Amino acid sequence: MYLAPMAGVTDVIFRQICKELGADVMVTEFVSAEGIMQADARTRKYTEFTDEQRPVGVQLFGGDGERMGEAARKIIDWKRPDFIDINFGCPVNKVVAKNGGSSLLKDCPVLSSVASGVVRAVGGQVPVTAKMRIGWDETSVNAVEVAGILEDCGMSAIAVHGRTRSQGYGGAADWEVIDAVARAVSIPVIGNGDLTCGADVLRRKHQTAVSGVMIGRAAMQNPWVFREAKHFLETGTESPGIGLEERWELVVRHCRLAVGSVRYGDENQTLTAMRSRLMAYCKGFPGAKELRQKLCHVASVGEVEDLAAISIRRAELADL
Ligand SMILES: Cc1cc2nc3c(=O)[nH]c(=O)nc-3n(C[C@H](O)[C@H](O)[C@H](O)COP(=O)(O)O)c2cc1C
C-alpha cells in the first residue's frame, strides 16, 4: 500500500507518521529537475527521507529527458532512494506550462524521451517508475497507450490516478481505465483515486488487475487508513475506530515534530504553514466548525494543545 505523493503534505514528517501507521511505500513530494540541477537547498529539502521510511522514491518532474536524467543521477548520489518516480500527472498550470506533469500525456514523443532519458541516465542503479493520470481530458483518455510506451521505455511500475487532467480532483476516479492499463502492461500497476477505507481497497483489488493501491487525500484526514485497511484485508472486519484523544495526540505530535524540524522556520511560521493540515485532521471532530475557526489562527504548539484539551473535555462531558 502506497502513500500518494502530495506536495505540501507528504513531507518527511507526515511520511514518518504514515509509515508508522502501516503505509508500505512512500514517494516524496514532486521536485523540479531544474531545482535539483541548481542544487537549490529548498528543492533538496523536499527529497529528504529517513531510512525507516524505505522503500522511498523521489519524484521528479520536467520536460527534458537529459536534464531529468542528470537530476535523477544527482539525487541517487545524494540520497540513494529506492527508486526514482517520474510525474506525468500534475495538473497545476505552473508545471504544465513548463512541459511537465500531465502536459506530457498530450505529447507522447516527449513523454517517451523523458522516460527513456531518466532510465538511460540511471543505468539500472535503481528502478524508475512513473505516476500518471488517465489522459489530458475526456476526449483524449490514452492511459493504455501511454502505459505501453512507458513500459517500453523501461519503467518498472506505473501508478495510475484514474482522472484526466481537466477533471482536476472533481468527479470520480475511473477504475475501469486503471484496470484496462493493468491488463495491458506486464509491469505492476498501482491504482489510485478515491480510496478511503479497507472496503474500498478490497473492492478495487478484487475488481481490477492492479498489483497495489495508493492512498492520498484520505490519509490527510485519517493517516490510520493504512492500518485500518490492512486489518480489513486480513480479517474482513473493521478495526475499532480511533478515539478523539488518540487523534489529538497525533495532531499535537505532528506539530511538535514539525516545530522540531527546520523546514518552515520558527514556531509561528511552522504552525501557520500547518493550519490547513490541522483542519484536515479535525474534519469530523465534534464541534468541527468552531474548531476550524480557531485552527485558522493558531501560532504555537501550546495553543493546539489547549484546543485539544478543551475538545477532549467537551466530548467527555457530552458523553456523560
Ligand atoms: C494537495 C495535493 C498535492 C499533490 N501533489 C502531488 C505530487 O506532488 N505528485 C503527484 O504525483 N501527485 C500529487 N497529487 C495527487 C495525488 O498523489 C493523488 O494522485 C490524488 O490525490 C488522487 O488520490 P486520492 O483520491 O487518494 O487523493 C497531489 C494531490 C493533492 C490533493
pLDDT at residue 99 in the model: 80
> How many Cα atoms within 13 Å fall on the side-chain side of residue 240?
3
Furthest-apart CA pair in the chain: how many Å? 65
Closest alpha carbon to 150 in 139, 159, 141, 140: 159
Select from 316, 196, 295, 217 the least CA-distant residue to 252: 295
Amino acid at 41: A
The model carries a pTM of 0.96
The SS3 call for residue 78 is: helix
Interval 158-177: pLDDT, tens: 999 999 999 999 999 999 99
Predicted pLDDT of residue 263: 63
Q: What are the residues whose beta carbons fall under 8 Å from the beta carbon of 28, sequence distance 6 or more?
A: 5, 10, 15, 46, 47, 48, 49, 56, 57, 58, 59, 81
Residue 23: φ, ψ to 5° = -70, 140
Q: pLDDT by residue (tens digit) across 81-127?
A: 999 999 998 888 888 888 888 899 999 999 999 999 999 999 999 99
Average pLDDT, the chain: 95
Does 229 contact ligand 1 (Cβ within 6 A)? no
For ligand 1, whether the C-beta of 5 sits within 6 Å is yes
Give the model's confidence band at 264: pLDDT under 50 very low, under 70 low, under 90 confident, else very high.
Answer: low
All cell numbers assigned to 101? 506533469
CB 102 within 8 A of CB 165: yes
What are the catalytic residues?
Answer: 90
Q: Is 223 in the pocket of ligand 1 (CB under 6 A)?
A: no
d(CA 287, CA 115): 48
Query: What cell does 49 get?
Result: 527521507
- Check whether 133 has a pLDDT greater than 90: yes
Q: How confident is the model over 181-198, as a mean pLDDT?
A: 98
pLDDT for the residue 40? 76
Which of 6, 60, 167 maximizes ligand 1 atoms within 8 Å of its Cβ, making it the mutation to test the pocket?
Answer: 6
Residue 226: the pLDDT is 98
Grid coordinates belonging to 244: 478523539
Residue with CA nearest ligand 1 atom 21 = 216
Work out which ligand 1 atom sits closest to the CA atom of 133. Answer: 19
pLDDT band at 152 (very low <50, low <70, confident <90, very high): very high
